[in-house]
Structure 1
């Protein structure tokens, strides 16, 4: 049986996205547009995110189901708890955003070829950071940056973008500190976008996209 071809809308200069229910079965919603701060923030507030390679058009996604982590469901293994009790790592927030996103772009991810964090993406998220929308967590060992993560802060939902580790467990420590901070501030969830076994081991789960959209609007 042949798969049905569904045309994907092409964005113009207008700051608008199609309804997410129009996304393909893989979650692709639209192509084109730009990476302006206004469009990116509209995307995240609408349950949409950019993900593309350096040689492609801008691709905008809204998968169903959606992977999220509710802060009160964070899973921390016994070995990780012991690690957190040590003085091995120092954690900072928004100390070295540029270094974090650059490491995320360059880190070797095994079978994955290239990176979706292109030069255009780097510049776009640097601008979001200057505007206070994108934040980073850094992990230091002996005053050297060895891990971290960054994402977009919507004030009640944190949209995780990428993590990196130069030493074992560094990104996991960053993620745990982020989630614990979000829980104390009453955030509803961390948007993990697409489920993976690694995220699942930390407590992430899949929920219907419709449920996720309600989380995005419930605390605005």
Structure 2
């Protein structure tokens, strides 16, 4: 599809159908819709926080925020030699963010954005689009905070699109296309909140969340 003709509503309808857009390169004038035979998901009750990552979450002097600089997160994800995030795709996700359908989790070291995750939300589904890291483990830390927030907000599906070795090490798995579509249909019929009332966890709560319930109160993002 010609990227110039694509609208934010096209994106939302595509996600609701179980397909997602990608460009083949930064300068690709086309957007291609994908529906992989095997779909990557990150089970929200199966996210693996290793001992070393838990220590990093507890001890890092970084600040974790949500939606304070969505554009910078997308640009950080696109800041690589080869990227599927074209200028048109960037503009579309910025529009979705302004409309409340796209969100970012950001890791800050003082004034510097050092890592982050962004994605799209519909119903109780979170469609993870991309993540980046400018410090060791910054993207893992962003992902841990994202999972914790989704659990607290009542989300039931975290779509990672593809399964990479990095995501597999954190608990992500592949499921067949037809199973994904069934799970998506159920998630779209449910409600969830990316900013649940009173949500302010401490780093220790996030570090411990892979082995127990989620607390929504006390000190963090």
Q: 2:12 aligns with which of 28, 41, 64?
A: 41
Q: For the pair shown, which has the larger CA radius of gyration, 1 or 2?
A: 1
* Alignment partner, residue 117 of structure 2: 149
Give a deviation string over 1:25-69, Cα, whole Å, max 9, x none: xxxxxx447320110000111110011222352211000110001
* Alignment partner, residue 93 of structure 1: 66
Task: Check if 1:50 corresponds to 2:18.
Answer: no
* Alignment partner, residue 185 of structure 1: 153
Q: 2:102 aligns with which of 114, 134, 137?
A: 134
| Structural RMSD (CA) | 1.3
Question: C-alpha distance in 1, partners of 2:60/2:132?
Answer: 20
TM-score normalized with structure 2 length: 0.80
Question: C-alpha distance in 2, partners of 1:84/1:114?
Answer: 30
* Alignment partner, residue 63 of structure 1: 36
Question: C-alpha distance in 2, partners of 1:115/1:87?
Answer: 29
SS at match of 1:73: coil
Size of the alignment, in residue pairs? 185
* Alignment partner, residue 212 of structure 1: 180
Structure 1 residue runs of 4 or more that deviate by more than 3 Å after TM superposition: 31-34
CA shift, 1:187, in A, is 1.3
* Alignment partner, residue 172 of structure 1: 140
SS at match of 2:144: helix
Question: C-alpha distance in 2, partners of 1:65/1:94?
Answer: 30
Which stretches in structure 1 are left out of the alignment for 5+ residues? 1-30
Q: When you count helix as a share of all residues, which structure comes out higher?
A: 2
Question: C-alpha distance in 2, partners of 1:63/1:153?
Answer: 19
Question: C-alpha distance in 1, partners of 2:94/2:53?
Answer: 31
